[in-house]
With several copies, the nearest count.
Chain A
Amino acid sequence: MDAQTIIAKRIAQELRDGMLVNLGIGIPTLVSKFVPAGMNVYFQSENGLIGTGVPPAEGMHHPLLTDAGGKPVSALPGACTFDSAMSFGLIRGGHLDMTVLGALQVDAAGHLANWMIPGKMVPGMGGAMDLVTGARRVVVAMQHTAKGQPKIVKQCSLPLTSARVVDLVVTELAVIGFPGGRATLLEIAPGVTVKQVREATEAELEVSERVSTMAV
């Protein structure tokens, strides 16, 4: 199983029936492929859609029905559309049960930086600051390291996305939470050791007494 699949499958286990969930571009989008059978989850695209379905078959797309990346999507039965004020009212107002997004860095306390590298890459925060500040649960989906460098660091050197800390980080190596404000190893991927996770992590990691293996 590749890294992205491990991450997406594990995060899908966080879904619950009836949840309203926003998936960011990239690995987060893959989570929708692993919704447990029979479970009804509402996916929101912040450009104004609840009920986002898979990309439509060729010849059946419409240019005015897209995801937040501008890519064609389908709308499931029971879908609804709305303007951007409503979209962010849902996000900011506590109606969004979970947001899944990527990260550049997460620090030992759970702070997230995911929207700019000063002087180098300045894409803008888009909806990320509202999502991280407003969602009931914030889950980070990312590879554990970037070019061999740890992404879970002692303290974020990049500008933060929010003062609010994330709830869960899922990588291809581990599941990390932040109980009591400290990065804590909750699960490890099959075949991975605690030592390997520690070596790939700059932040100090508490190891949960009940550290278990990711069921992916």
Chain B
Amino acid sequence: MKTILLADAAAMIPDGATVMIGGFMGVGTPERLVAELVRQGRRNLTVIANDTALPGIGIGKLISAGAVKKTIASHIGLNPETQKKMLAGELEVDLVPQGTLIERIRAGGFGLGGVLTPTGVGTVVEKGKQRIELAGKPYLLETALRADFALVDAFLADYIGNLYYALTARNFNPVMAMAADTVIVEAENIVPVGVIAPDHVITPAPVVDYIISHA
């Protein structure tokens, strides 16, 4: 049984922590957890996520509240506040191609040092990176990313932590669940152990540390 109260879960995450947050334009983002971090006044977070959503939605709430010092993301275009804070020097933004970002997170969770990708070769993304040629084709060496916490949104969780994601809310969630020291899950539904068929479990229970209780 891994359930925990929302406030207690958020309180585990200190100011300055590096946090991976699932979701794609707010879809599949653990909304209550994000809102609770804002309510608790968290500061100086490094947020690793696909995007910063929109103002008032998902990670956008953290941006607006000034809780974020740095973000590693692939897209910030639909959140004018992220752009404004970045251009004003209040927020550091490290832009990473989406396919590279997800592979770097996967590498962190799967015990790989990094991957070689053709994406970004010959662009500004190459800056500061090692280029490796294999069979005459150039690749960039992109290194693994890990975080102190992964905040994961699931459709179903059982009480020991097996997770199932629905439709396009899966996105970064199962990959991030592998890549952080502490994995906190916000689930739409919490069901008894054995209710999710073994073949339908996407994230295995042992990697999950906490599930936000519905109490």
Chains A and B in contact, CB within 8 Å = yes
- Determine the chain B residues whose CB is within 8 A of the CB of A42 once the complex forms: 204-206
Q: A80-B198, A92-B111, A130-B98 are in contact. Are A18 and B206 (CB under 8 A)?
A: yes
A43 CB, min distance to chain B CBs, angstroms:
10
- Determine the chain B residues whose CB is within 8 A of the CB of A62 once the complex forms: 167
B114 CB, min distance to chain A CBs, angstroms:
13
| 6 CB-based A-B contacts, threshold 8 Å | A40-B160, A69-B78, A77-B194, A80-B162, A92-B99, A126-B74
Q: A50-B204, A122-B83, A124-B73 are in contact. Are A89 and B123 (CB under 8 A)?
A: no
Is A162 interfacial (CB 8 A cutoff)? yes
- Determine the chain B residues whose CB is within 8 A of the CB of A20 once the complex forms: 206
**Number of A-B residue pairs at CB separation under 8 A:** 210
- Determine the chain B residues whose CB is within 8 A of the CB of A84 once the complex forms: 24, 50, 98, 102, 171-172, 175
Extra pairs beyond A70-B78, A124-B73, A126-B75 (17, CB < 8 Å): A48-B171, A50-B205, A64-B166, A75-B167, A83-B174, A84-B24, A84-B171, A85-B175, A87-B99, A92-B111, A123-B77, A124-B76, A124-B93, A125-B97, A129-B97, A133-B120, A162-B122
B142-172 at interface with A (beta carbon < 8 Å): 155, 158, 160, 162, 165-172
- A89 & B76 in contact (Cβ 8 Å cutoff): no
CA separation between A70 and B78, bound complex, in Å?
A: 10
- Whose C-beta in chain A lies nearest to the C-beta of B105? A85
- Chain A 120-143, CB-CB to B under 8 Å as 1, else 0, gives 011111111110011000000000
- Whose C-beta in chain A lies nearest to the C-beta of B124? A159
- Determine the chain B residues whose CB is within 8 A of the CB of A95 once the complex forms: 178, 206-207
Is A163 interfacial (CB 8 A cutoff)? yes
- Determine the chain B residues whose CB is within 8 A of the CB of A128 once the complex forms: 97
B residues bordering A, Cβ < 8 Å?
24-28, 50-51, 53-54, 73-78, 83, 86-87, 93, 95, 97-100, 102-103, 106, 108-112, 117-125, 155, 158, 160, 162, 165-175, 178-179, 193-194, 196, 198-199, 201-202, 204-207
- A122 & B76 in contact (Cβ 8 Å cutoff): yes
B18 CB, min distance to chain A CBs, angstroms:
17
B161 CB, min distance to chain A CBs, angstroms:
9
B178 CB, min distance to chain A CBs, angstroms:
6
CA separation between A128 and B75, bound complex, in Å?
A: 10
CA separation between A89 and B103, bound complex, in Å?
A: 9
A76 CB, min distance to chain B CBs, angstroms:
8
- B25 & A70 in contact (Cβ 8 Å cutoff): yes
- Whose C-beta in chain A lies nearest to the C-beta of B163? A80
Q: How many residues of A contact B (CB 8 A)?
A: 58
- Determine the chain A residues whose CB is within 8 A of the CB of B97 once the complex forms: 125-130
B204 CB, min distance to chain A CBs, angstroms:
5
- Whose C-beta in chain A lies nearest to the C-beta of B50? A84
CA separation between A125 and B123, bound complex, in Å?
A: 11
Q: A50-B205, A93-B109, A163-B121 are in contact. Are A88 and B103 (CB under 8 A)?
A: yes
A206 CB, min distance to chain B CBs, angstroms:
24
A56 CB, min distance to chain B CBs, angstroms:
12
CA separation between A49 and B205, bound complex, in Å?
A: 12
- Give the most central of B54, B99, B205, B207: most A CB within 10 Å: B99
- A92 & B110 in contact (Cβ 8 Å cutoff): yes
- Whose C-beta in chain A lies nearest to the C-beta of B109? A93
